[in-house]
Amino acid sequence: MQLRPNLAVKQAGVCTACGGPLDDTSTDLACLGCLLDAGLQQELGGDLAARAMEPAEQFGIYTIERREDGTLWELGRGAMGVTYRALDSSLRRAVALKLIGSEWLNRGAEPRERFMREARAAAALRHGNVATVYQFGVHEETGQYFCAMELVEGETLETRVRRTGPLDALTSVEIALQVCSALAAAEKQGLVHRDLKPGNLMLAALESDESAVSVKVIDFVRQSAR
């Protein structure tokens, strides 16, 4: 839809944008209404274009939440996709909703089947130091794959070190022990985390002892089954 006056098709007494008659408040090209529309379109064009690039907000029972400024509540980006904060409308709880990049799944039926097989295995893993996977699914209209996971309130180990500097020895050992416990549990189910790094280790302070840390290994999406 063209909102700006078309200089090449000027016609005396007629708005070149909408074709309506011009009056005393109009210019020799466009009526006042079309000029206002053109101004608004120019002002909001960047925002509308950004919104057009946003993903769908509703994925089954999960609705991506928005921040106070109206933008989607993004939690992080990785090699396989983008993770958002979302609301489970059924249980009324916040979750981490990861949208899997289409380039990982548009490689034929075999890669998609393998992905879903491994996803089911990851969802079956239950451990205190592993962020629980609630559901994998596909958006019916767009074909977008998504993963709903436990939302861990806290910060990643990478963020903690950048914020406070190197960890003390006791804290480092405690984190290592919890991570090893999580990986051992995964190993028993034939799962291997293929992207283990500080950015995939969430640290959450315990309510009973704020000085202690509880480690959650996240993003078991990129695992492989034996």
**28 is annotated as an active-site residue:** no
Residues with Cβ within 8 Å of 147's Cβ and at least 6 positions away in sequence, in order, are 97, 98, 100, 119, 133, 135, 136, 221
Q: Out of 24, 28, 195, 219, which one is annotated catalytic?
A: 195
CB 105 within 8 A of CB 190: no
Residues with Cβ within 8 Å of 123's Cβ and at least 6 positions away in sequence, in order, are 133, 134, 135, 136
d(CA 97, CA 222): 15
Read off the tokens for 125.
């893993």
d(CA 47, CA 161): 35
What does the CA dihedral 114, 115, 118, 124 come to, rounded to 10 degrees? -140
39 φ, ψ (degrees, to nearest 5): -65, -45
Catalytic annotation, residues: 195
